[in-house]
Amino acid sequence: MTRDEALAKLATSAFRRRFHLSPSLRRYVREKGVDAVRSHAADFIAQRLAPAHPANDGRQTPMKGHPVFVAQHATATCCRSCMNKWWKVPTGTPLSESQQKKTVALIMAWIECEMSAAANEDEGSGVQRPNASDGHDGRKSAAPGTTTNPDGTSAGHLAERSPQNTLT
């Protein structure tokens, strides 16, 4: 699967589509630079996802605080069970070098999409929260009335198991 195909697949999930970089996280990416963020992503994947049995698997990725964390939830690379479900990565075995590289590449592709999609919004915007309800990428309209805030969900991959609960 190419990166574009992976991003297109993610865009079919109302749950994954809810994640966006907040203005402050976009500012972080601009100030640190994409290369620094990529190296953070490589570290997070190596430390939190790559072991055969990662510590706290399923809860090791915060919902906010770093652009890579948000990107991991958006790209279903937040824990080994999401990686297994979405990308057929086997559990119980360490991630290979190439699996780690692909994971980082997907995360960075998502971040770069977010940065360019949001480039206009950042002009004079003081809003500090991601807009979780409008599905601005417009591939499929988001469920009307969906108000769940990704920042308030502690275990996103659990919420995804019953997507019908988010529909009105």
Which residues sit at the interface with Zn ion, rule CB under 5 A?
Answer: 78-79, 82, 157
Report the residue number, 47 or 125, with the smaller CB distance to Zn ion.
47
Minimal distance in Å, beta carbon 79 to Zn ion? 3
As given in the structure block, the two tokens for residue 101 are 């590289």
CB-nearer residue toward Zn ion: 63 or 78: 78
Which element (helix H / strand E) includes 84? helix 80-87
Torsion angle defined by CA atoms of residues 36, 39, 44 and 50, in that order, rounded to the nearest 10 degrees: 170
- From 33, 30, 4, select the one nearest 119 (Cα to Cα): 30
Q: How far apart are CA 118 and CA 20, in angstroms?
A: 9
- The distance of closest approach from Cβ of residue 78 to Zn ion in the complex, given in angstroms and rounded to an integer, is 4
**Residue (17 or 157) nearer to Zn ion, CB:** 157
Q: How far is the CB of 123 from Zn ion (least distance, A)?
A: 34
Dihedral sign, Cα of residue 69, residue 3, residue 127, residue 32: positive
Please report how close the Cβ of residue 112 comes to Zn ion at its closest, in angstroms: 22
Instruction: CB nearer to Zn ion: give 15 or 115.
Output: 15
- Distance (Å, whole) CA 157 – CA 27: 27
Smallest distance from Zn ion to CB 157, Å: 3
Cβ(73)–Cβ(49) under 8 Å?
A: no
Nearest-angstrom CA–CA distance, 160 and 73: 11
Residue with smaller CB distance to Zn ion, 22 or 61:
61
